[in-house]
Amino acid sequence: MIIILGDEPPEPYAEPRGTCPVCGSHQVIHHPLGGPDPRLDEEDPPWVQWQGCLLVFSDRTCEGCGAGWNMERDEEDDEE
């Protein structure tokens, strides 16, 4: 059997849901760039909303208070 790199399905979406930094709610919605891979056997959690190839400014939003933030940018700010 020959396996060509890139032909195996990716890992399922496994980021933790997290907590809103503004109100502390656990009603966080993730907005990852791209789309779900049809080769995966399991579906993504209902709080993951794929954004296609759109440029988005927030990759997380809170259903509770409406806040939006970007996890990657916020993590970089924390390191400084």
Digit-coded pLDDT (tens) for 36-56: 877 787 888 999 988 876 666
What three-state secondary structure class fits 70?
A: coil
Residues listed for the chain: 80
H or E element: which one contains 29?
A: strand 28-30
Residue 47's pLDDT is: 92
Enumerate residues 6+ apart whose C-beta is below 8 A from 33. 50, 51, 52, 53, 54, 56, 59
The band of 76, judged by pLDDT with boundaries at 50, 70 and 90, is: very low
With 70 as the cut, is the pLDDT of residue 74 above it? no
The stretch 19-47 carries a mean pLDDT of 88
- The verdict on pTM exceeding 0.85 is no
